[in-house]
Amino acid sequence: MLNEKAKQDIAAELGHAETQRAAAPDALKLVQKHHGWVSDEHLCELAALLGMTPEELDSVATFYSGIYRRPVGRHVIAVCDSVSCWIMGYDPIREHLIARLGIGLGETTPDDRFTLLPCACLGVCEQAPAMMVNQDVWGNLTPARVDEILEKYA
């Protein structure tokens, strides 16, 4: 069940939207902000508020890579695997993250600290290879720099 603050924030968002359906992406982000991810229960409750079917809202949720339909760690690492990052050293960075965290892509560390996800593009090709931790973008990565960055999220 959505908490009261989430319901209030969603109601405020609906007041700014041209239609209830137009508010769907932002409403999903608000659910995630308050609950950490969008569960099936939250999705169904939100769909009813928006006048959508759960299937329609799920198609919106799964379109956006930043909407999580399953639990994630406290810090989500999106490692860019675009062509630019791949050319500039994506493979060693990905392998270092996998070894350092002890998880594969799409997995969360046992302590729920980090979730590691691939990302199609972060839009910072001039800083390739790059990753984003939560909303912080980090570029010009090396394995040593990755270690320094991860320590910031301890």
Domains of the chain and any CATH numbers = 4-63 (1.10.10.1590), 75-151 (3.40.30.10)
Q: For the chain, what is the mean pLDDT? A: 95
pLDDT at 99: 98
Does residue 154 carry a pLDDT above 90?
A: no
CA distances from 86 to 1, 10, 26, 38 (A): 41, 39, 31, 31
pLDDT at 98: 98
Mean pLDDT calculated for residue range 27-36: 94
Distance, CA of 122 to CA of 4 (rounded, Å): 33
Query: Please, which pLDDT band fits residue 93 given cuts at 50, 70 and 90?
Result: very high
Mean pLDDT calculated for residue range 72-86: 97
Distance, CA of 9 to CA of 3 (rounded, Å): 10
122's tokens:
């972060």
* Helices and strands of the chain, counted as H and E runs: 7, 5
Q: Please list the residues that pair with 97 across neighbouring strands.
A: none
